[in-house]
Structure 1
C-alpha cells in the first residue's frame, strides 16, 4: 500500500507538545492553558488539512517556473544545498519582515502571533495564507535555477526547525546564539513589549537580523501576544479579524491612493479603534451563562477524535476519492468552528451541530439515497408530531449537555 508519510507529522508534533506540557508541569511552570492550547491546535489542524489539498500545487508551481524560466541549470551538490539553505532563509527573513511591516501581509501573519502563550502549541498557528505568500516570495528560487525537489525539501526543513524555537524550557545555547535562531531569540519575536516589537525575524539563522538591524537581545520578561490582545478564541475570527479591520479602514478612506496606503501601509500607523468597531459589528454579543467547566470535556473529546480522523485521512488519502475527502474536510472545519464557539460559550454553536450532522449525512444520501431519505423523513415526522417547539427544547438540552448546569437566565450579553 502507498501511505502519505507526512501524516506522521501529527503524532510527531503532538508528542513534543505533550512532553513540553509534562516537563513544564513537573517544574511548576504554567506554560499551557486549556482554551489557548485548543485555539492554537485548531489553527494548526486547519493548516494541515488544507495543505493536503494545496501542497502539490505549490510543487507544480515551482516546477513550472523552473521548466520555463530557469536562468541556470543547477545540479544538486553539497555546496549548492548549503547555498539554497542560506538563500531560503534570507528570503524567509524578508517575507517575515514584510509580514510585520505591511498591513495586508500582517493580516495573514497575525494569526501566528495571536496566542498569549509561547509554547510548542503556539508553533502550530500557521495558516494556508502564509503558505501562499511564502511560496510567492520563494518563487525566485526556481527562476534562479534551483530544482523544485530541492526547494520542497528545504520547505520541510523550514517547517520543522522553527517548531522547536517556540519553547520557554530551553535557555541560551552559548555560541549558537550568535549564529542560529534559538528559543531565546524567538521568544523576543513573539513578545509584545515595546522594546521587542518587530525584532528577530530570522527563521533558522539570526545573522540576517544582526546584518539588517532588527536584532534584539532578551533583556526583560516577554509579554506574549499582540499589543492589543484578541480576547477571542473563535476559529474564524482569529483567521480573519485583521482582514475585516483592513476592509473597514479602507471603506473610510476616499480615493484609490489613500485606500492603497491602508492596504500596503504599516500596522504601526493602523487605526487602533478598528478592531473594537469590527468586534461590535460582527461578533455575537451573547454568551451562555454558566458556572461550569464541563464544556472542556466535550471540546477535548472532539479535538482527540478530529486529530485521529485527520491522521487517518492524511495517511490513506491516496485511496479516498475526492467526494469523501471533501466531506471529511468540511466535517473537520465545522468541528473547528464548533470548538471555537464552545470555548466562548456561544449559543449559536447548537446550529453548527446541525451543519455537521448534515455534512456527515451526505455520503449516506449519496450511496444509499432511498434508505437514508426515508429515515430522515420518519425522524422529521416524529419530531413534528411530538411538539412544534421541539427544536427549542432540544437546544436547551444540548446546551446543558455541553455546559452543565445553566442559570435560569440562559444568556448574558457581553459588554
Structure 2
C-alpha cells in the first residue's frame, strides 16, 4: 500500500468519532466536551504530521538493525507473523509499564492520560516523543531477525487496534475479555480511581497483565484523567509540563545520584508542590465569558482547516518539495499552538497570527514567485510593526469582544 493512502485514516477515524458521539447522545450520555476534544485532536494532528517525516526514519532504523545485528534470518510465514505480533505486544507491555513507573518515560507518556474524558479522540493523544521512546523497545525485534517490512505491517495493525478500545459506548464483551484488551479493560487503565492505578498495561492481549500481576477488572465507574488534574488546554504545556517538573525537581537537588533518582524514580517521588510552583509561573487562570462561543467558533474553523490540511499534506507529501513541506508543517504546528492559546485566552496569540500570516506569505512567494507578492509581504510586515498596538486592540475586540 502506498503511504499516501494512509491519509484516508483521518476521515475514517472522524467518522467513527462522529458515530460514537451520536451513540453516546442516544444513550443520554455526554462523552465529549469541546475543549477536551480540541486538545485531543490538536495533539493527534501534531503526531500524525510528524509521522510523515519519522516513518521513513524508523523503517531505515529497523532495516539497519536487522541487516547488521540480526541474530536470525526470519522468513515470512504464519508462525513468524504470530510470533512477531505476540512479541510486539509483549514489548509494548513493558514499555507501557515502565512508562508509568519511570519518570523520564512518564514525561513522554503522560500526555496520553491528561484527558478527563474517555472517547475515540483520546486515542489521538500520542506524541512523537512517545513514538521515539517505544521504538527503542521495539529495536529488539529486528535484532532477533524480523525484517523491517514485517515489523512495519505489524506496527500498523498494533497502532490501529487501540483506537477502538478508547470508548465508553461498548460494555463488556463476554469471553473476549479473557483474551483481548477490550474497552472495559482500557477504561480501567485510564482511570484515576485508587484501585485502578497502574493496571491493565496491555495493548492487544490482556493475558500479559494477568501473567505479570497488573490486571484489574472494571467494577465501579472510572474517573478519568491524572490523579492531579492538569488545569490547562495549552498545546505546549500539555507536552512539556512534566519535563519542566523534572528539570525543576533536579535543580533543587545537589548530587548526581539524587538527580538520577528523580529521573529514574516513580512519579509519586516528585513533590506535588513542584507543579503548583510552575503553574503559578506559567498558567494564567481565565474565566468563561459571553464571548467564549465566538472563540469556540474560531477554533472550530481552524481545527477543520487543520484536519483538511493534514489530509492533503499526507496525500501529496511526495509531490511537495522540501521547502514547502517545512513551511506547511510549521504553519500547522503554529496553528495547533494557537488553538490551545485561544481556548485559554492568552494575550500573545496575536503574535502567532502574525507568524501564520508570514508563513502563508512565504509559501505563496516560494510557489508563485513574483515581485508583487514579495512587495506585499514587505508592506504587510511594515504595517504590522507600525500598527501593532492598533492591530492587537482590533484583534482582541474581534475575537474576545
Structure-2-length-normalised TM-score:
0.96
Change (3 A) 1:216 1:320: same
Q: What's 1:228 paired with?
A: 228
Q: 2:329 matched to which residue of 1?
A: 329
* Residue aligning to 1:207: 207
The reply on whether 1:141 has 2:141 as its aligned counterpart is yes
Rounded Cα–Cα distance in structure 1 between residues aligned with 2:383 and 2:126: 45
| CA offset digits 1:137-189 (Å, max 9, x no partner) | 00001111111111111110111000000000100000110111000000000
1:193 and 2:190 matched: no
Structure 1 residue aligned with 2:342: 342
Is 1:290 aligned with 2:285? no
Q: 2:390 matched to 1:373? A: no
Query: What RMSD in Å do the two structures reach over aligned CA positions?
Result: 1.6
By percentage of residues, which structure has more helix? 2
| Equivalent pair of 1:286/1:347 in contact (CA under 8 Å) | no
| 1:401 matched to 2:395 | no
CA contact (8 A) 1:63 1:142 kept: yes
Q: Is 1:313 matched up with 2:313?
A: yes
CA distance in 2, matches of 1:379, 1:46: 29
Preserved CA contact (<8 Å) 2:361 2:377: no
**Shift, 1:80, TM fit:** 1.1
> Whole-Å Cα distance in 2 between the matches of residues 3 and 65 of structure 1?
22
Q: TM-score, normalised by structure 1?
A: 0.93
> What is the CA-CA distance between 1:274 and the residue it aligns to?
1.2
Distance 1:360 1:382, change over 3 A: closer
CA offsets 1:192-239 (integer angstroms, 9 cap, x no match): 011110000000000010011100111211100000000100000000
Give, in whole Å, the separation in 1 of the partners of 2:48 and 2:241. 21
Contact 2:31 2:118 (8 Å CA) reproduced: yes
CA distance in 1, matches of 2:377, 2:126: 39
CA positional deviation for 1:37: 0.1
Q: Secondary structure at the match of 1:216?
A: coil
Provide the rounded CA distance (Å) in 1 between the counterparts of 2:135 and 2:310. 24
Q: Give structure 2 stretches of 5+ with no counterpart.
A: none
Residue matched to 2:240: 240
Residue 126 (structure 1) shift: 0.5
Q: Describe the shift of the 1:141–1:3 C-alpha distance in structure 2 as closer, same or farther (beyond 3 A).
A: closer
Q: Which residue of 2 aligns with 1:132?
A: 132
**C-alpha separation in 2, matches of 1:135 and 1:192:** 27
**CA gap 1:380/1:32 in 2 versus in 1, 3 angstroms:** closer
Distance 1:357 1:379, change over 3 A: closer
Q: Greater shift after overlay, 18-27 or 86-95?
A: 18-27
- Which structure 2 residues correspond to residues 2-401 of structure 1 after superposition, within 5 A? 4-283=4-283, 285=284, 287=286, 290-292=289-291, 293-366=293-366, 367-368=368-369, 370-379=371-380, 390-401=387-398
The CA distance in 1 between the partners of 2:17 and 2:5, in whole Å, is 20
Cα distance in structure 1, aligned partners of 2:130 and 2:37: 20
Change (3 A) 1:289 1:122: closer
- Tell me how far apart the structure 2 counterparts of residues 357 and 4 of structure 1 sit (CA, whole Å): 28
Distance (whole Å) between structure 2 residues aligned to residue 241 and residue 382 of structure 1:
36
